[in-house]
Amino acid sequence: MSHNDTSDADFRQEWFTVNEAANYLRVTRQTIYRYMDNDLLPYYELKSGRGRRIRRSDLESLLEPPQKRD
C-alpha cells in the first residue's frame, strides 16, 4: 500500500489518518478538516508536526440514526 493509498485501509483499526477518516465516513478530506476546525471532531497531532490522527470512536460519534418523522 502506498503512502496515500487508503483503499485497503483496515477500518477495524483504532487510529486513522485524515485520508483514512474521510474514506471511512465517505466524505472529502476537506469535510474532515472542517469537522476538526469546528470542534466537531477531536484529533491528535503527532509530535513531529507531520499529521493528525483521529480515533475511530470519535468518527463513529459523528454518526446518528435518522430522526423518525411524525
Closest residue by Cα to residue 22 from 45, 43, 49: 43
The percentage of the chain sitting over the pLDDT mark of 70, rounded to a whole number, equals 86
What residue ranges do the domains of the chain occupy?
Answer: 15-56
User: What pTM did the predictor assign?
Assistant: 0.77
| CA 34 to chain CA mean position, Å | 11
Mean per-residue pLDDT, 5-29: 85
In the β-sheet with 52-55, what is the strand arrangement from edge to edge? Answer: 15-16, 52-55, 44-45
Rounded CA Rg of the chain:
13
pLDDT of residue 15 exceeding 70, the answer is yes
Beta carbons of 58 and 16 less than 8 angstroms apart:
no
pLDDT of residue 6 exceeding 60, the answer is no
- d(C-alpha 54, C-alpha 20), whole Å: 9
pLDDT at 2: 44
